[in-house]
């Protein structure tokens, strides 16, 4: 039988060219990722400064002035923190849960969440507000959309004006360890809703029922 041709040279060149394209893509992606982390750090610094500013200004003047500042400025800072959290989650999904830069940013984010929570509690007490507050302990390990409590909270937070503070229990930081000890967190999801602890997954309707009691 007469042998047939083999375009071995073409297969090789195609492999080299593909490898080159592929590498350029990866390098561009990493560079982009590096820029994103740098940008996230700058945003975190700016947010921290804003948050400290709100706290300082609320110390000035009388009670009514402090509450006025709290109402106008704290919500703005809180909203920015929520957006920052979404960006961080996106970054985590792209770079991976074990990425050292992501873990560092999450540590910082946990401390910001706690500071926000404490400031909000202090100002609610001073100004006599009864905002709905959820402290949400979660884990990204063994994630399924069916057990994503965050999605359920998202369905009710606007309706009840909920302030939600997220803590990933797998973040290795004194703040998260301290909170886990303070609330005796053993499982996820665990929610502390207006001071009461709820272990396990809650549907949006169940959340609605609990939050309605605060009206």
Nearer to another protein, 150 or 198 (CB): 150
Indicate whether 158 belongs to the interface with another protein (CB under 8 A): no
Which structure tokens are listed for 185? 């967190």
Q: Of the candidates 72, 79, 93, 212, which one interacts with another protein according to CB under 8 A?
A: 93
Residue 73 CB, nearest approach to another protein (Å)? 21
Distance of CA 18 to the CA centre of its chain: 37
CB contact burial 155-191 (16+ within 10 A = b; e otherwise): ebbeebebbbbbbbbebebebbeebeeeeebeebbbb
DSSP element (H, E) containing 94: helix 75-95
If the CB atoms of residues 32 and 129 are measured against another protein, the closer one turns out to be 32
User: Which listed residue (14, 46, 56, 209) binds another protein by CB under 8 A?
Assistant: 14
Q: What is the DSSP letter of 171?
A: S
Contact yes or no for 137/180 (Cβ under 8 A)? yes
Q: Does 17 bind another protein (CB under 8 A)?
A: yes
Q: Hey, which residues does 168 pair with through a beta bridge? A: 138
Nearest to another protein of 90, 205 (CB atom): 90
Token duo for residue 45? 């610094």
Binder of another protein out of 43, 57, 78, 87 (CB under 8 A) = 87
125 is a site residue for another protein (CB under 8 A): no
Burial 33-55 (b: 16+ CB within 10 A, else e): eeebeeebeebbeebeebbeebb
For tokens 């949400």, name the residue: 136
Count of C-beta atoms within a 10 Å radius of residue 26: 10
Stretch that binds another protein, among 26-34, 52-60, 70-78, 183-191 (CB under 8 A): 26-34
Nearer to another protein, 63 or 141 (CB): 141
Q: Applying CB under 8 A, does 34 fall inside the site for another protein?
A: no
Residues that bind another protein (CB under 8 A): 1-7, 10-11, 13-15, 17-18, 21-22, 24-26, 28-30, 32-33, 36, 83, 86-87, 89-91, 93-95, 140, 143-145, 148, 150
């Amino acid at each position: 039988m007469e042998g047939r041709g083999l375009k071995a040279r073409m297969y090789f060149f195609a492999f080299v060219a593909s490898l080159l394209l592929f590498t350029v893509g990866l390098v561009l992606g990493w560079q982009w990722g590096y820029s994103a982390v740098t940008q996230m750090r700058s945003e975190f610094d700016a947010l921290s400064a804003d948050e400290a500013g709100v706290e300082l200004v609320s110390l000035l003047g009388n009670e009514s002035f402090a509450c006025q500042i709290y109402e106008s400025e704290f919500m703005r800072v809180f909203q920015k923190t929520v957006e920052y959290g979404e960006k961080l989650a996106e970054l985590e999904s792209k770079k991976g849960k074990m990425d050292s830069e992501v873990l560092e940013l999450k540590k910082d984010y946990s401390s910001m969440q706690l500071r926000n929570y404490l400031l909000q509690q202090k100002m609610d007490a001073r100004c006599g507000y009864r905002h709905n507050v959820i402290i949400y302990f979660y884990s990204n390990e063994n994630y399924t959309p069916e057990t994503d409590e965050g999605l359920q909270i998202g369905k009710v937070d606007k309706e009840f004006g909920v302030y939600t503070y997220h803590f990933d229990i797998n973040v290795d930081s004194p703040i998260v360890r301290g909170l886990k000890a303070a609330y005796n967190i053993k499982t996820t999801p665990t929610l502390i809703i207006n001071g009461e602890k709820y272990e396990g997954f809650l549907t949006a309707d169940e959340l609605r029922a609990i939050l309605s009691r605060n009206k």
